[in-house]
A and B are shown apart, each in its own frame.
Chain A
Amino acid sequence: MENLQFLLRQHVGAPCEPVVKAGDRVEKGTLIAVPAGLGANIFSSIYGSVQSVLEDRIVIAPDEEQKEEFVPIHEGSWLEMVKEAGVVGMGGAGFPTGVKLGTDLKGGFILVNAVECEPGLYHNIRQIEDNIEMTLKGVKYCMEISNAGKAIFAIKSKNEKAVEVLRKAVRDEENISIHLLPDIYPMGEERAVVRETLGKLLDPTQLPSAADSIVINVETVLRVAEAIDFRKPCFSKNMTVVGKLKGGNEPHVYMDVPVGISVGDLIERAGGIDGVYGEIIMGGPFTGKAVGKDAPVTKTTGGIIVTIDLPDLHGAPVGLLVCACGGDEARMRDVCEKMHGNVVSVARCKQAVEMKNGTLKCENPGNCPGQAQKCLQFKKDGSEYVIMGNCSDCSNTVMGSAPKMNLKVFHQTDHVMRTINHPLYRRLKVSKQVEQLPEGK
């Protein structure tokens, strides 16, 4: 096993401050960094010794032998335990859960995000199928801590088995129900979940608390239960490894992967890369980023995808349609560069609003505001190709105009979709409406 790397920034907020130094012995569950401002504790996920403490990470050399036991966190109130365990939003956002659950919902809603919207990822659904008991326990803890009156599971109807498991589990739960979602992207965005389940469209600057709710990822719920029941610090992550791997492109779902392990290690565990590849993406196809093999897994890493090679545009002029649902402009440019395209025009979806921290949020996720004008811009600027990062609905709109203007369309996720045999994001063929379960059960 190679050295493990613990990034000091695995969450929203400021980087943590290390509390260990080179040469220190650490055990599984040893606190190694504490928040400076908004943040969450970081724990070692292995037995070993601190190799070095760098500006942005702590490097730990693992012992040959690893035990199952870990250093437990202190007893305390449930909220205190969640905070001490360093639980953060596992869906990718990384907001400290202890802070989130500190809100008094006054009888409001816990919205359990089991949408797993990024195509290719399976670990959330697998968790429901395999470990519903602990998951449900976590939901109840969350409701109790934040004084919520109800909880709703948001899950795509296509996950029939998981939905069945869920239905069984909540059948006798008075305050817990299920809301089914269509299989379009994005449904898992925080405000999309609020809109779909509660019927309230929030402004990009508003938090779900504006609708008396908290949106919490289904894995985060599990970590909350573990922190309270087992006094277990948050140092492991459920993940999907998928792509151009030896043995095929079937997804490999790993539960409780130690945080800090390298992408390369995990890929080896899944069989290793099969020949020539395009990119290694950490995260989902839409919002993930290309990384190297030595990049470490963090508390928010959901997927590792090895893609096939990208097409070569031989320097053709390309228009980029940047949107809040897909990669940011830097990521879009990255994809374009890898395709040897020449960016001549960049447009941003009308609904993508820039937040104070520079990230984009969609005003109404998954509902297109029209894209014809953007296509006209690309045409005017001399583009031959369009690379878009849009959601299902917007992609459909782009397909309504771009090809007629002789613009060839790529989606930022095309190479991933081809790798995992998923339909490309082009025309929308499914309805945005799904039939709900009777009374949400």
Chain B
Amino acid sequence: MSITAETAKEHANDPAVLCCRAEEGITIQASNLEDPAIFDDLVDSGLLDLEGALTIEQVLGATLTKTCDSLCPLTADVVEGAKAAAAPEKAAEEAAEPAPAVPAAPQAAVGPGQVLRIHIGEGKDIDIELPVGLANISAPTPAGVPGVIPALAADTEVQETNEEKIVRTLTRKHYKITEVKRGPETKIEGTTLYIREGIEKECVDSQELVFDLKIDIITPEDYHTYSETIMDVQPIACKEGEDEVGSGTTRVLDGVIMMVTGTDANGVQIGEFGSSEGYLDENIMWNRPGAPDKGEIFIKTQVTIKEGTNMERPGPLAAHTATDHITQEIREALKELENDSLVVDTETFDQVRRPGKKKVVIVKEIMGQGAMHDNLILPVEPVGVLGAKPNVDLGNVPVCVSPLEVLDGCIHALTCIGPASKEMSRHYWREPLVLEALHDPEVDLCGVIFVGSPQINSEKFYVSKRVGMMVEMMDVDGAFVTTEGFGNNHIDFASHHEQIGMRGIPVVGMSFCAVQGALVVGNKYMTNMVDNNKSESGIENEVLACNTLCHEDAIRALAMLKNAMAGEEVKTAERKWNPNVKGTNVELISNVTGKPIELAKNEQSLPMSQKRKEKYD
């Protein structure tokens, strides 16, 4: 449809196409041109070939030399007086130019309190904005205010509020494990972990629905082993003394993880869709926040639950609880270690509040439709079961937690379907966005909100409205909304954006979208999006944690939110998923920050199944 002069300006560098028949001799105006927004559809339908078309900027005001019909791209041979083609190169130059300015002469170029704005003009780009001279950015230009006293007051106040405040601290003591063996009792000796023989029976007996449980110890040499669907990957950790999850000291075993797998008694996978059953080394995206790291030992349980309960809520929960029986015994052994001689590393996480900086909150949408679509919130031990409340039982309402609670395993995730996008329990333990935001001196991360994603739309809107209210009360300057799901999860995901956005708070969304998870709904607040996809073809594949939120995504989201909070707009996305957009953006961020960003690998890095002789065994 014909466009306005305004739209023409926005799309100055897009191809010019007549929307309707136009007669020879007319002066080309915006109202003669078709809206570039529908070009993709038109090209798809074979209606349009943009080959050789001049840009809108070029043709405006020029004369049409031949009567042309609708959807005719305006090329040089039918237009007289077109402006010279200078535009296409512009975007790239714009992007390239400001970058070197940062190291060159920051002091001379920009004064304290000012910001360097970098605007990138192509595709689904991010606008990057960096404070230069971090000290004084929040000082509201006191010098220019007439009257000496208020200026002074403002000055002192600024200094006070700019001080960082440590709310609480979490210490992680790391214990190295190099070998896992079975033995008469569960204990840790040096770097060897012993698991009591016969513990399996107790696990089975503890859960009515569990018929059988096998423990496999998978060392790197055994990675090429067939496994049933991976239902979760968990760190093995315990609290020290009376400490609670989210503060104090946590002991964690390095080099070993718990892995829950299983089927029902008839051999049907638990959560049988898009299962990642198969050879472990082909189905795990190593080193994702939620996945095992290459080289780690897996304590893998294979739980058999009562037939037909694989899709009912109690089934997956029983499998997890039975596995936790083993983990709990390891935790006890870990707690008993008397001295710190086995500690190989100590990490300290400070929960820092930065008054005066832009206050942000992270809203994480988690599964809540039931069965394996569930999460246990706030167990007594990190990623434990005891003491935790299933998020479905909580009615999926938003629950506020501190960033340190997230990093200390406050979520025990039931993970059966969508293995590539689902966040494992371990994911939260290493949640990249929480870590990035917590460590970023330019933002004040006030907390994390978990909100379940119920099945029925009315319930989705119910919980979403609570999110809106909660965020409103926090008086934040910006919010992240992440989801580990797609499909109907995107309905509440969109609603969260709306509820937060309508309160005037900029939002950045993060989700697996690409091709298969393309958003099913949208609203005017969903302008800033980061796609978590890593897979080659943009689909939810069967590779564990492939499409989950990674460090590179966290960096992009953070840069995007900072810009949104500074009032910069993000360019409209291309209509079709284009993985290059991300590549360009990451490169640009890296250029500006001076830190290289290594992109996470995808499933293409995993061994291909050429030599598959085992199957004929």
Contacts and interface: CB of A to CB of B under 8 A. Distances in A.
Verify whether A and B have any Cβ pair under 8 Å. Answer: yes
Interface in A393-429: 393-394, 396-397, 400-401, 404-405, 428
Given A370-B34, A372-B42, A431-B23, 8 more contacts: A373-B1, A373-B38, A376-B41, A394-B20, A396-B21, A397-B70, A401-B70, A428-B21
Contact of A372 (B31, B46, B67, B71): B71
Interface string B15-54: 0000111010000000100110010011001110000000
Interface in B67-88: 67, 69-71
| 5 closest residue pairs by CB, A with B | A370-B19, A368-B20, A400-B70, A370-B1, A397-B70
B20 A396 contact: yes
B2 interface: yes
Q: Count chain A CB atoms within 10 A of each CB in B34, B38, B69, B70 and give the residue with the most.
A: B70
Nearest to A396: B21
Contacts of A394: 20
B29 to A, nearest CB: 11
A371 B69 CA distance: 12
Q: Count chain B CB atoms within 10 A of each CB in A372, A379, A405 and give the residue with the most.
A: A372
A372 B39 CA distance: 10
A397 B19 CA distance: 8
B23 A372 contact: no
A397 B47 CA distance: 12
A370 B20 contact: yes
A313 B21 CA distance: 30
A393 B67 CA distance: 13
Q: Count chain A CB atoms within 10 A of each CB in B21, B41, B42, B45 and give the residue with the most.
A: B21
A328 B2 CA distance: 23
Interface in A369-403: 369-374, 376, 379, 393-394, 396-397, 400-401
A269 interface: no
Contacts of A372: 1, 19, 34, 38, 42, 47, 70-71
A245 B332 CA distance: 100
A293 interface: no
Contact of B20 (A376, A379, A397, A405): A397
A77 interface: no
B19 A368 contact: yes
Nearest to A401: B47
A297 B300 CA distance: 89
Contacts of B45: 376, 379, 401, 404-405
Contacts of B23: 431-433
14 contacts: A369-B19, A370-B19, A370-B35, A372-B1, A372-B34, A372-B71, A376-B38, A376-B41, A396-B70, A397-B21, A401-B42, A401-B70, A404-B47, A432-B23
Nearest to B21: A396
A369 B1 contact: yes
A340 interface: no
Contacts of B21: 368, 393, 396-397, 400, 428
A210 B31 CA distance: 24
Contact of A400 (B2, B35, B46, B69): B69
Contacts of B2: 350, 368-370
A429 B17 CA distance: 20
Given A370-B20, A376-B42, A350 B70 contact: no
A375 to B, nearest CB: 8
Nearest to A428: B21
A373 B35 contact: yes
Contacts of B38: 372-373, 376
A126 B46 CA distance: 48
B47 A396 contact: no
Contacts of B46: 404
Interface residues of A, number: 23
Nearest to B72: A400
B71 A400 contact: yes
Given A393-B20, A433-B23, A368 B70 contact: yes
A373 B69 CA distance: 16
A183 to B, nearest CB: 15
A368 B19 CA distance: 8
A374 B71 CA distance: 13
A353 to B, nearest CB: 14
Contacts of A370: 1-2, 19-20, 34-35, 70
A400 B48 CA distance: 10
A382 B324 CA distance: 52
Contacts of B20: 367-371, 393-394, 396-397
Contacts of B41: 376
Contacts of B19: 368-370, 372, 397
Contacts of A350: 1-2
Contacts of A433: 23
Nearest to A394: B20
Contact of A405 (B31, B35, B47): B47
Contacts of B34: 370, 372
A397 B46 CA distance: 16
Interface in B47-63: 47
Nearest to A369: B2
Given A372-B19, A379-B45, A431-B23, A401 B1 contact: no
Contacts of A428: 21
Interface string A53-79: 000000000000000000000000000
Contacts of A367: 20
Contacts of B31: 369
A401 B71 contact: yes
A400 B17 CA distance: 13
Nearest to B38: A373
B486 to A, nearest CB: 21
Nearest to B42: A372
A368 B31 CA distance: 9
A394 B21 CA distance: 9
Contacts of B70: 368, 370-372, 396-397, 400-401
Interface string A267-297: 0000000000000000000000000000000
B9 to A, nearest CB: 18
Contacts of B35: 370, 373
Interface string A129-149: 000000000000000000000
Nearest to A433: B23
Interface string A87-111: 0000000000000000000000000
Interface in B313-363: none
A394 B47 CA distance: 17
Nearest to B1: A370
Interface in A341-372: 350, 367-372
Contacts of A404: 45-47
A405 B31 CA distance: 24
Contacts of A373: 1, 35, 38
Contacts of A431: 23, 67
Nearest to B20: A368
B504 to A, nearest CB: 31
A350 B31 CA distance: 12
A397 B69 CA distance: 8
B188 to A, nearest CB: 62
Interface in B254-295: none
A19 B30 CA distance: 57
A372 B416 CA distance: 45
A323 to B, nearest CB: 13
Nearest to B24: A431
Contacts of B71: 372, 400-401
Q: Count chain B CB atoms within 10 A of each CB in A367, A379, A432 and give the residue with the most.
A: A367
Nearest to A398: B70
A38 B179 CA distance: 98
A379 B42 CA distance: 11
A394 B19 CA distance: 10
Interface string B174-212: 000000000000000000000000000000000000000
Contacts of B47: 372, 401, 404-405
A431 B22 CA distance: 10
